[in-house]
Amino acid sequence: MKILFSAALLALAAAAPASAQEISKGEYAALAADCIVCHTMPGGRPFAGGLKMNTPAGAIFATNITPDPATGIGGYSYAEFARALRGGVRKDGARLYPAMPYPSYARLSEADLRALYDFFMKEVKPVRQTNTPSETTGLYSMRWPLGLWNWIGGGADFRADKDFDAEWNRGAYLVQGPAHCGACHTPRGWAFQEKGFDEKSGAFLSGGALDGWSSPNLRGDLNTGLGRWSEEEIFEYLKTGRNRFGAAFGTMREVVTYSTSALSDADLKAMAKYLKSLPPSIDRAASVWVYNNETAAALAARDFKKPGAATYARQCASCHGGDGKGGGGLPPLAGNPAILDPDPTSLINLVLNGASPGGDEGGGEFDWMPQFRTFLSDKEIADVISFARAGWGNRAPPADAAQVRAMRGATAAAEGGRILHMR
């Protein structure tokens, strides 16, 4: 196996994935689909499953997708494999929970599906590891209602749009299909279904909440989306996990490290082109964010009258600057779309629990974010987040101590190089 599946990767530590030119079509498709992150435990064997994921139905565990015939997918025919990926139906006929992003994988091309099947059956090493039963109860433990759910939340084949060129359509295919961006970045409806699957829906990629994080808006909104980003800056973020607006954190850090950073430049540019074409969905009438120096001047004068100002000066300014502009590779807070996100969930999670070093040497080091849960109170964390969300020209709703308290009880600090997930 290539370096992608080396021991360092299995521990989900910093390891450079193989380049797109050095791997098979199936391994490349698995990279684009980010299969390894959900189906590999930290320190575990590749694709052997076991990772816990929290859903509204209760906790479920990623399954073993190695070609082991007893505990994995070694007994799957190509037709059964394709039905699982596109339709969410296992070999035995049981329905998969949509934590498996089959509504997005429904758009996978026949060529990519066949390449994936060959990769998992011929290149992945079999691992005998029994799957962990889900922790769902009551109606949620029954699989048959998921057939009804598919009428609401199921996906559809990808169809190229003749009004756009081949590069745009390639980007649309990658974003909508294998990369399954909508699974995290699209809001969910009353039945937990994605509210849109392509650019024809104004809700598609307009931001969503999942597993303790607020996945940001990827549309053309000026302040909370990609409206101020150029195609080159979107490409840079997908390739390295950072640009002048900020740095990847939370589960997006894993996406960059083990998926997008290993894709070809041509594919990343196609994704950037497609994303940049999406119109705004929320702040259509908003004026573009403009820097304001009042916060920086107050901090320089040691004016700490505003709640959170003293905590910011003591704990945050050394990295993010009194001017909120970051520097030296450290992300800015001034004008950062994550700071301007109407939902402060991700910021609360990040400040409470931190982020351990990650990334890969080839794509650039991600920054280390300390966790503050052990020495800042719920109110202090809420105040410092609110201070940043109202400083340097930022205009975002404040955080609340009750939100911090709830997140504190639901999460644990990041450990071992892997970002935290909900308990």
77-96 pLDDT, tens digit each = 999 999 999 999 999 988 88
Rounded to whole angstroms, how far apart are CA atoms 390 and 396?
6
Residue 195 or 363, more confident: 195
Q: CATH number of the domain at 358, please.
A: 1.10.760.10
The full 3-state SS of 162-192, as one line of letters, equals: CCCCHHHHHHHHHHHCCCCCHHHHCCECCCC
Domain count, the chain: 2
Residue 167 corresponds to which amino acid? E
On whether residue 183 sits in a domain, the answer given is no
The token pair at 382 is: 């809420």
On whether residue 372 sits in a domain, the answer given is yes
Lowest mean pLDDT of 137-141, 162-166, 274-278, 340-344, name the range.
Answer: 137-141
In terms of residues, how long is the chain?
423
Each residue's pLDDT tens digit, 106-125: 999 999 999 999 999 999 99
Lowest mean pLDDT of 32-36, 205-209, 347-351, 355-359, name the range.
Answer: 355-359
The token pair at 331 is: 């992300």
On whether residue 140 sits in a domain, the answer given is yes
* Boundaries of domain holding 375: 294-410
Contact 42, 257 (CB under 8 A): no
Rounded to whole angstroms, how far apart are CA atoms 221 and 231?
14
pLDDT > 90? residue 146: no
Residue 309 or 1, more confident: 309
The answer to whether residues 298 and 150 belong to one domain is no
On whether residue 58 sits in a domain, the answer given is yes
Each residue's pLDDT tens digit, 248-266: 988 898 899 999 999 999 9
Rounded to whole angstroms, how far apart are CA atoms 158 and 222?
28
On whether residue 342 sits in a domain, the answer given is yes
On whether residue 217 sits in a domain, the answer given is no
Domain boundary among 103, 135, 157: 157
The token pair at 361 is: 């040497």
pLDDT > 70? residue 13: no
Lowest mean pLDDT of 47-56, 118-127, 166-175, 209-218, name the range.
Answer: 47-56
- Nearest C-alpha neighbor of 19 from the set 1, 39, 2, 38: 2
pLDDT at position 195 is 87
Kindly indicate the confidence band of residue 4, based on its pLDDT and cuts at 50, 70 and 90. very low
pLDDT > 60? residue 167: yes
On whether residue 6 sits in a domain, the answer given is yes
pLDDT at position 20 is 53
pLDDT at position 56 is 67
End-to-end alpha-carbon separation of the chain, Å? 33
- Portion of the chain with pLDDT greater than 90, in percent: 67
On whether residue 193 sits in a domain, the answer given is no
pLDDT > 90? residue 150: no
Rounded to whole angstroms, how far apart are CA atoms 327 and 312?
16
Kindly indicate the confidence band of residue 188, based on its pLDDT and cuts at 50, 70 and 90. confident
Instruction: List CB contacts of 406: < 8 A, sequence separation 6 or more.
Output: none
Lowest mean pLDDT of 109-123, 260-274, 285-299, 364-378, name the range.
Answer: 364-378
Kindly indicate the confidence band of residue 138, based on its pLDDT and cuts at 50, 70 and 90. low
Residue 148 or 67, more confident: 67
pLDDT at position 355 is 79
pLDDT at position 368 is 77
Domain boundary among 108, 133, 157: 157
Each residue's pLDDT tens digit, 14-26: 333 455 557 999 9
Domain boundary among 127, 157, 187: 157
Residue 207 or 193, more confident: 207
What's the Cα-to-Cα distance from 383 to each of 42, 376, 406, rounded to whole Å? 34, 11, 16
Q: How many CB atoms lie within 10 A of CB 397?
A: 12
Lowest mean pLDDT of 113-122, 278-287, 355-364, name the range.
Answer: 355-364
